[in-house]
Structure 1
Amino acid sequence: MALRLLHYSEIDLAAWDECVARAREVVPYAHSWWLHATAGHWEAVVEVEADGRYRAVWPLPVKRRPWGREVYQPPFTQQLGLLVAGEEVSVAMLPAMARCYTRFYTQLNTANGLPMLPPGTSVQPRQTYHLSLAAPAGHIRAGYCADYRRRLRLNEAALQPLRAQEARNAEPLLTLFQQTQGAAAGLKPRHYTVLRRLIAVLAQRQLLELHEVHHPQTGALLAGTLFVRYRTRLIYLFAAASVEGKKAAAPLVLVDAAIGRHADTPDLVLDFEGGMIPSIARFFANFGAGPVPYAALSFTQRPWYLTWMR
Structure 2
Amino acid sequence: MISFVKRINVDVLKYNACIENSNQSRMYAYSWYLDIVADNWAVLVLNDYEAVMPIPFNKKYFIKYSTQPYFCQQLGLFSRGIISNDLQKEMLNHIPFKFLKVSLSLNSDNLLLSEETRRKNYTLKLSKQYVETQKCFSKGRKHAVKVGEKAGLKLGIITIDKLIEIQNKNYNYKIPEVTLINLTKTILQKNKGEILGVFKEDKLLGGGFFISDKTRIIYLYSAFNEEGRKLQAASFLISNVIKKNENSNLILDFEGGNMPNIGKFYRSFGAEEEIYSTFNKAFL
Q: Please report the TM-score for the alignment, with normalisation by the length of structure 1.
A: 0.86
Aligned to 2:182: 197
CA deviation vs aligned residue, 1:104-156 (integer Å, no higher than 9, x gap): 1100000013136xxxxx96111100101000011011110112212333443
Task: For residue 214 of structure 1, report the CA deviation from its aligned partner.
Answer: 1.4
Matched, 1:210 2:206: no
Letter in 2 for 1:289: A
Rounded Cα–Cα distance in structure 1 between residues aligned with 2:60 and 2:206 = 39
> How many Å separate the matches in 2 of 1:149 and 1:143?
9
Instruction: Indicate the SS of the match to 1:143.
Output: coil
SS of aligned partner of 2:153: coil
Alignment of 1:55 with 2:37, yes or no, is: no
1:147-226 paired onto structure 2 within 5 Å: 147-156=140-149, 158=150, 161-167=152-158, 169-181=159-171, 183-184=172-173, 186-187=174-175, 191-216=176-201, 219-226=202-209
Q: C-alpha displacement at 1:87, in angstroms?
A: 4.1
RMSD of aligned C-alpha atoms?
1.7
Q: Which amino acid aligns with 1:180?
A: N
Give the aligned residue type for 1:177: Q
- The amino acid across from 2:120 in the alignment is Q
Runs ≥4 in structure 1, deviation > 6 angstroms? none
Aligned partner of 2:264 in structure 1 is: 282
C-alpha separation in 2, matches of 1:198 and 1:151? 31
Report the counterpart of residue 300 of structure 1 in structure 2: 282
Higher alpha-carbon deviation: 106-115 or 96-105: 96-105
Measure, in 2, the Cα distance between the counterparts of 1:276 and 1:16.
30
* Residue equivalent to 1:230: 213
For 1:1-310, what aligned pairs fall within 5 Å after superposition? 2-49=1-48, 54-66=49-61, 68-89=63-84, 90-100=87-97, 101-115=99-113, 124-156=117-149, 158=150, 161-167=152-158, 169-181=159-171, 183-184=172-173, 186-187=174-175, 191-216=176-201, 219-266=202-249, 268-302=250-284
The one-letter code sitting in structure 2 at the alignment partner of 1:243 is E
Judge conservation of contact 1:134–1:263 (CA < 8 Å) in 2. Answer: yes
Residues 107 and 289 (structure 1), Cα distance of their counterparts in 2 relative to 1, 3 Å cut: same
Computing the radius of gyration from Cα coordinates, the structure with the larger value is 1
| Distance apart, 1:95 and its partner CA | 3.6
Q: CA offset at residue 209 of structure 1?
A: 1.6
Compute the TM-score of the two structures, normalised by the length of structure 2. Answer: 0.94
Alignment size in residue pairs: 281
